[in-house]
Structure 1
Amino acid sequence: MQKLEQKQEEKKKEEHEKEIKREIERRRSGKDMLEYKRKHEDDQARRALEERNKEKAEEKAARDRIRQQIAQDRADRAARYAEKKEEQDAIKAAEFQAKQAEMESRRDAAQKEKREAVRKRVLDKRTDEFKKEGKIYRLRTQDDEDENNTWNGNSTQQM
């Protein structure tokens, strides 16, 4: 019986050791699997970054080509119309002078209207007094008369 118990005990020890080895193997395989997943994700992220950088480079190259084409088109247009530039400048100068003359006549008319309006007001209100201050006329008010009055021996200008 002792042999039987000893065999059972050895069997239990072997089972326990096998269980420990299986647990160690399971943990190792879990770590390996996590490491593989991490490397795989890193590779995917690196590839995605490279792809994005490649697309950006292609877009930049396309924008540069478009800018160069636009610059070339501008240069071509400038060369084509260089002969007509003097003619166009003369036309623009004439248009500018015409606009200036029109604006000057409008400004003169507006100033004349303002002067007439002031004169009309002056004539309409002959009883009111207007005080000339520079080129602007101002209606004399009670405040103007109070400037020379005193209050408790002090003029209002000193307050």
Structure 2
Amino acid sequence: MYDEQGRLVAYHGFSIDITVEVLATTAQRDQDEQREAARARITAVLNHEDALQIHLQPIVDLTTRRAVGAEALARFAGQPYRPPNEWFDEAWQAGLGPDLELRAVTAEGVETAEEVGVLLDTGVRLAQGYHLGRPAPAWPAEHYRNELLVAGR
């Protein structure tokens, strides 16, 4: 007898050893299919030009309800939407962990053009440092203020 997915679940006349072997083989096939689906999702993210996006989330002074700064958050463009830690977990399970980690690395303290070249050669796309731009004072966050007050947060 087969279930809805076409997996053998029972057959009269088989010994218990053969039934267990068939079930184990089916479970392995299901795991392989899940791993391949995960590889396809991660590969699509890796091949997407804007796979890793940086989003700014306001940091709010709760006493004044004013945005006083922002935190930069990494978000992957792939579907289904989920937090970065779930993308990284799936990437490692699919054997693509190092690739996704490199895609998401932000190199800090880049001080020379030579360092930029090394980073590009190793696949790192995001960097910060004095060679690329000097620190600036806190940015004005007025555009978040109205949004937060209207939302009542």
Structure with the greater alpha carbon radius of gyration: 1
Q: TM-score, normalised by structure 2?
A: 0.30
Q: TM-score, normalised by structure 1?
A: 0.29
Query: Counting strand residues as a fraction of each chain, which structure ranks higher?
Result: 2
Query: Counting helix residues as a fraction of each chain, which structure ranks higher?
Result: 1
